[in-house]
Amino acid sequence: MARETFKDIELGKRKWRVSKVDALSGSNILRRFMASDTTDPQKFLGTLPDDDFQTVQKQLLVNCQEIVKDSPLQVMMHDGRIGVEEISGDVLYMLTVAALSYNLSGFFDEGVLREFHEISRGLVSSSAPT
């Protein structure tokens, strides 16, 4: 079965496509998320300092499009400019939460988190002095 790389959602009476981020960005986002004290994506975003939030938001939103007449429009350009018209701050934030949740979903849903913890424990115990 092919790996799902995007999901279409409706938000604020508009259609959006959230896509998986590249491996490097995903690794960075996951590192920050795992270091936080929550497993709730919205709470995680709310605890980030402004600069970190903007970094994570940009990494997510450059991989999101608005679907207008079956044509995708980039939500955020790589230089940080917004690429869609008349998007409100609340919709932009909700889209960020949706994109984060989607990008974390495979990590948690496929048992990868459990496997990660098992491997981590194994590495720590095997490197302990005897």
Classify residue 81: in a domain, yes or no: yes
Classify residue 1: in a domain, yes or no: no
d(CA 111, CA 130): 31
Per-residue pLDDT 10s for the chain (130 aa) are 667 899 999 999 999 999 999 999 999 999 999 899 888 899 999 999 999 999 999 999 999 999 999 889 999 999 999 999 999 999 999 999 999 999 998 766 556 656 665 676 666 665 555 5
Q: How much is the pTM?
A: 0.82
In which domain, by residue range, is 120 found?
A: 6-127
Structure tokens at 123: 């590495």
Sheet holding 64-68, edge to edge: 6-11, 14-19, 64-68, 71-74
Q: What total of structural domains would you count in the chain?
A: 1
Any bridge partners for residue 73, and if so which?
66
d(CA 118, CA 130): 20
